[in-house]
Amino acid sequence: MANPLDPKPESAGDAKPFLSGMTDHSAKAQERPFAEKIEASIVKEHSVIGKNIKFRGELIGTEDLHIEGTVEGTVIMEGQNLSIGQEGEINANIHAQNIVINGKLTGDVLADEIIEIRNSAVVKGNLIAPRIQLDDGGKFRGSMDMVDSDEEMRERHTEFKEKLVHPHLPTSNNAMTDNKKMGFDAALAKSDAKKTADKTTPDNEKN
């Protein structure tokens, strides 16, 4: 007769793995609904800076952008998504709606929604966004500022504008002032030329 205190043998169908009751946090098991939505949008309609392209200056875009090349300066993508591929190397301050980083980035970043640093990324700089995600394996050195109110975000926008001015390019206001000055100088030169012509013209020819 079987002893009721003996452990009941488990059948093959009843056996469960040791970690069966724990949540699987592996890379495959993690869901990325937000990041996948961003990447799907970029794949659908986007511009690409290829790995053989080097850009230096002020880069402004009104559609989603994927970078596999080299960019140095400033990147302004207000309301648009930006992704940096594994071959991408960016040395710039950036403002975009959403930013996904797989490559190298050195600079300060402002995102209106999310910054995601993937496991192949190397990032150095100061990050500002309502949501910041750092994947296991991703390398980051700098500061993270996770904004939690609209008022705070407006303040960050105002402060960040100074970082979006390329040091080797004039600001918009300076450019307008220079254009006005050039126009004024041209008008003045034309007036002086007319006065000189009037002085050298004989009186009988004027009549």
Mean pLDDT of 191-207: 56
What was the pLDDT predicted at 176?
Answer: 41
> DSSP class of residue 144?
E
The 10s digit of each residue's pLDDT in 36-93 is: 655 555 555 679 999 999 999 999 999 999 999 999 999 999 999 999 999 999 999 9
| Structural domain boundaries in the chain | 34-167
Residue with tokens 């020819």: 205
Q: How far is Cα 177 from Cα 192, in angstroms, rounded to an integer?
A: 22
The dihedral over CA atoms of 20, 22, 24, 30, expressed in degrees to the nearest 10, equals 140
Percent of the chain residues past pLDDT 70, beyond the cut:
58
Q: How far is Cα 101 from Cα 170, in angstroms, rounded to an integer?
A: 29
The helix (H) or strand (E) run that includes residue 187 is: helix 172-200
The pTM of the full predicted model, rounded to 2 decimals, is 0.64
Which residues partner with 139 through β-bridges?
A: 122
Mean pLDDT of 119-128: 97
